[in-house]
Chains A and B, each alone.
Chain A
Amino acid sequence: MSFKKPINHHPRLEVNKLGLTRRDYEGAISTLCAGCGHDSISACIIEACFQLNIEAYKVAKLSGIGCSSKAPAYFLNQSHGFNSVHGRMPSVATGANCANGDLLYLGISGDGDSASIGIGQFIHAIRRQINMVYFVENNGTYGLTKGQFSATNDLESKNKYGEDNLFKPIDLASMAIQLGASYVARSFSGDRDQLIPLIKGAIQHKGFALLDIISPCVTFNNHDTSTKSYDYIRNHNEAVGKTDFVPLGEEITTSYKSGSSIEVNLHDGSKIALEKVNSKFDPTNPGKSLSYIRDKSEEGKLLTGLLYFDESSGDLHETLNLTKTPLNQLSQKDLCPGEEILDKINKGLS
């Protein structure tokens, strides 16, 4: 069931440039477990959209099946949502995106959706460089079916019942870099300060942006022997740098020391600033990103932050040479060649 939130709110809530409050970006009341990491991510999406002055009705929220896929109901009430079938959100997003490139596409999926049943679609959405923000709310478990291992669960992790995981995990972020995703970040649902700028950067980015967000499952994967629990992630998270998002036209006023930060330009002219923790790390070099992720993983660390970025990327609309007017707004006059041409075609066939 879904329940609406009451619409009344405090008259002096902060408003953004559109005159909207954060509450205007909310959705229905969540039916996920109390403390679910996914709800924190929804809150960060709300915050990012509020801060970026996004018009919610120009956003399409798409998902597959699973706990994560329920989440789009819990933010951006004024956006159209599409809860599709298990693992197939990327194809629906691809078709929707081709029909109208003017909307912002937020794809919400989980590790079951993206690393198992829908891994093929995940791969091909990246390969086609769909202009979208692709969230993986990654908890290493199948929550809705009560705690089976997922393909992102670490080998050394056990499930709630103490059983061993038998297989190595799939690292979706590394995979996305290899496949040519042009914005790849990893974060933790419990780290708002890191996550919000990464979401904002992903929204402004043109091309495929992956956010692999470790989002602990409080019910089935938050125990001592899990490597995707709150405690484990807090203790093993190594941020690639402090991330800050600087909107277009604003000066960078962060406290970074000169020479210790990297700025990356987004398509609309805004910037992402990263505090360097490792002088060797360059998020624009896929090979270096991959080896840095791997090295940290071997040390038992989970690297978070903006892991890879390609500012020169295009998207599927460019590849297909699509008209600027969205396909769903073309008139019959644009679409139908008409009688006269059909006569010509008939002549050619006789």
Chain B
Amino acid sequence: MLDPKSFQSIETVNDFVIKFANVNGTGSASANQMFAKAIFRMGIPVSPKNIFPSNIQGLPTWFEVRVSEKGYLGQRGGVDIAVAMNPQSYSKDIEEISEGGYLIYDSTWKRNFNRSDINIVEIPLTQLCVDSFKNPKQRALFKNIAYVGALAALMEIEYEVLETIISEQFANKPALIEPNIKALNLGRDYVLENLEYPIGIKLSRRDLLKDKILISGNEAAGLGAVYGGATFCSWYPITPSTSLAEGFEKYAKKYRVNETTGKNLYASVQAEDELAAVGMAIGANWNGARGFTATSGPGISLMSEFLGLAYFAEIPLVVFNVQRGGPSTGMPTRTQQSDVLACAYASHGDTKHVLLFPADPKDCFDFSAKAFDLADQLQTPVFVVSDLDMGMNDWVCDKFEWSDSFSYNRGKVLGFEELEKLDSYGRYLDSDNDGICYRTYPGTHPEKGAYFTRGTSHDEYARYTEDGNINAETLMRLMRKFRTASELVPPPIIEINGEDSCGIIYYGSSKPAVLEAKDILKTKDINVDLMQIRSFPFNLDVWEFIASHDRIYVVEQNRDSQMRTLIMAEGGISAEILRPLVHFTGDPIEASYIVNKISEREVNYKSHKNIKER
């Protein structure tokens, strides 16, 4: 198949990056996902990422899959195999391929590519499909399935695995199984009959994914909301959070319908805008249902006034912010962690909010369910802050866990019996001295427990007041409550790796890149201690980790090093100790980027230190 080569082909098993270049809206996504799922089913760690435009049809879209037997699942950089299906982006796609890599393209229209250092695999996909399918829509759609079939032969993907995935995928539309298998065979058979196979990059079954699942963070968070007892979801469509509300609906339709009456035990309302979405969720929570809204950065801006109301009137609320590239409309289909400060201090006046930072879909599930307990316990908005990378891409993660012995904590709510025993009720009386007061739901008791919820300054009995001292006391109590919150939120995960190590603080979807970077840095004799921040307000562990290091790199995916600012502001930490390590192109951060930045600075640090010591 190939001419005698002047270059060394890449030879590897279970360790490569393949990138599919497609046209948006041509049905490539499901074929690409099938490819990734097959690798997952072969027990090999895999990380698929959809790189898509803010467009419905026509623009270039990519799907990048990293396979790593060692389990490194962050973005790697570099492309070993390109499946180039979009002539629009040929030049960029071909340029990216590493020396010795492979280009697979639709050779129905033959091309000369200006690369003599890569392997070029020609498969006339369009021709094959035109010859085998009559329906024009199928001809276009099945090109995608056909290249998966071809890759199966070229890379030794277990064929039965692919067949099983197809039959599962179309379990409800069995008529579609046969043509999909036919398309798969088309690609495979062409390779078997016409090309040399396998290529140098191969897959081989392992057993590395025991107890692992493959799911997107948004779907996981939607499921977590079902498990966490959410009964009300109000949302406004916005990328990349829409699939979270849809995930909630998907599982609620399955598990939240009364079998006898056929009635729904949940409500999901698509609001007219984000202001209404958060207003509805606040109304539902005020009335004692667990309600949430899901949004992204622009939605947080729009919701800000209401968020201040929920903070000040002390109404539980769960807000999912699946962050995207900002500022403004920014890059709706790219990832960033640039809403940390916008969430922490959302709304005018002195406000502070509880934030949870999941780092993978398992966390999205756990933190989603936990957020409803925290919101009820603390009677305040709780933000689950994820991002597009983990929200919309399927990630390999630990399987979900739940214990039937766990019961929801609805916080301090007075029922009829408790009210009956009270002489007088004050909504904002801090009788336990933890900053958290007792709520009542409307309709509980005929004579006791009614109060007036308001965003205006109020006294302990929820009465309007213009007495500045009383208002100041309320603000101080809210600070006490925030301290209580720091004891309830998930603590950081800390890993200490030796004396004289530098520290790394990270959170969210930077996790896989940071863990990989740690291993690479070790090979360069740079030891790092890690702290994964999982929540705000920060608890004592966070301050102790910082106090025990003289230099800490704060890895985050935004320009302004927002987490660093938050730590500095909240803990009075010196700027010198916390060193920004930021990445904000909208592509997920890579281990190599972190390694380069840290090793550069650590070399400087060590040489300075040596000079000093001399």
Q: Please give the residue numbers on chain A whose beta carbons come within 8 Å of chain B beta carbons, in ascending order.
A: 1-2, 28, 55-60, 62, 72-73, 77-85, 88, 90-100, 102-103, 120-121, 123-124, 128, 320-324, 326-330, 332, 334-339, 341-342, 345-346, 349-350
Known: A1-B464, A345-B400. A94 touches B450 (CB 8 A): no
* Known contacts A81-B452, A83-B454; A99 and B287 CB within 8 A of each other: yes
Name the residue on B nearest A84 (C-beta).
B309
Question: Lowest 7 A-B CB distances belong to which pairs?
Answer: A95-B283, A91-B279, A95-B280, A328-B288, A99-B289, A80-B442, A95-B284
What is the count of residue pairs linking A and B with beta-carbon distances less than 8 angstroms?
A: 229
With A98-B280, A120-B273: A60-B287 Cβ-Cβ less than 8 Å: yes
A83 touches B213 (CB 8 A): no
Instruction: Judge whether B326 is part of the interface by a CB distance below 8 angstroms.
Output: no
Chain A positions within 8 Å of B452 at CB level = 2, 72-73, 80-83
User: Does B538 sit within 8 A of A, measured CB to CB?
Assistant: no
Chain A residues with Cβ below 8 Å from B273 are 120
| A328 surroundings in chain B (CB, below 8 A) | 231, 284, 287-289, 441
B289 CB, nearest partner CB in chain A, Å: 4
Instruction: Specify which chain A residues have a CB less than 8 angstroms from the CB of B285 in the assembled complex.
Output: 95, 99
Q: Number of residues in B with C-beta < 8 Å to the partner?
A: 74
Chain B CB within 10 Å, residue with most, of A78, A124, A321, A350: A350
Complex contacts, B271 vs chain A, CB 8 Å: 91, 124
A246→B266 CA distance, assembly (Å): 36
Beyond known contacts A337-B255, A346-B400: 14 more, CB 8 A cutoff: A55-B446, A57-B450, A58-B443, A60-B443, A62-B283, A73-B452, A83-B454, A84-B309, A85-B305, A95-B281, A99-B231, A103-B287, A124-B271, A337-B226
Q: Are A88 and B279 neighbours in the complex by a CB distance under 8 Å?
A: yes
Which A residues lie within 8 Å of B446 (CB)? 55-57, 78
Residue numbers in B under 8 Å from A81 (CB-CB): 450-454
Chain A residues positioned under 8 Å from B269 (CB to CB): 94-95, 98, 128, 320
A320 to B446, CA, bound (A): 30
Is there an interface contact between B453 and A124, defined as CB atoms closer than 8 Å? Answer: no
Which residues of chain A come closer than 8 Å to B229, judged between CB atoms?
Answer: 332, 335-336
**Which chain B residues (262-300) contact chain A, with CB distance < 8 Å?**
262-269, 271-273, 275-289, 291
**Are B451 and A96 touching (Cβ within 8 A)?**
no
In the assembly, what is the distance between CA of A85 and CA of B277, in Å?
14
List chain B residues, Cβ under 8 A from A80: 440-443, 450-453
User: In the docked arrangement, what's the CA distance between A98 and B266, Å?
Assistant: 9
Q: In the complex, how many angstroms separate the beta carbon of B471 from the nearest chain A beta carbon?
A: 12
Contact A124 B272 (CB under 8 A): yes
Q: Is there contact, CB below 8 Å, between B399 and A350?
A: yes
Question: Which of these, A73, A94, A321, contacts B283 with CB under 8 Å?
Answer: A94
Interchain CB contact under 8 A, B401 and A2: no
* Interface residue B232 (Cβ < 8 Å from any Cβ of A): yes
Q: Are A85 and B464 closer than 8 Å at their CB atoms?
A: no
**A121: chain B residues within 8 A (beta carbon):** 272, 275-276, 279
Complex contact B447–A57 (CB within 8 A):
yes
B264-A2 in contact (CB<8A): no
Complex Cα spacing A330 to B288, Å? 10
CA distance A334 to B264 in the complex (A): 11
If A330-B231, A334-B265, A337-B227 touch, whether A124 touches B276 (CB-CB below 8 Å) is yes
| Residue among B275, B277, B403, B454 facing the most chain A CB atoms (10 A cut-off) | B454
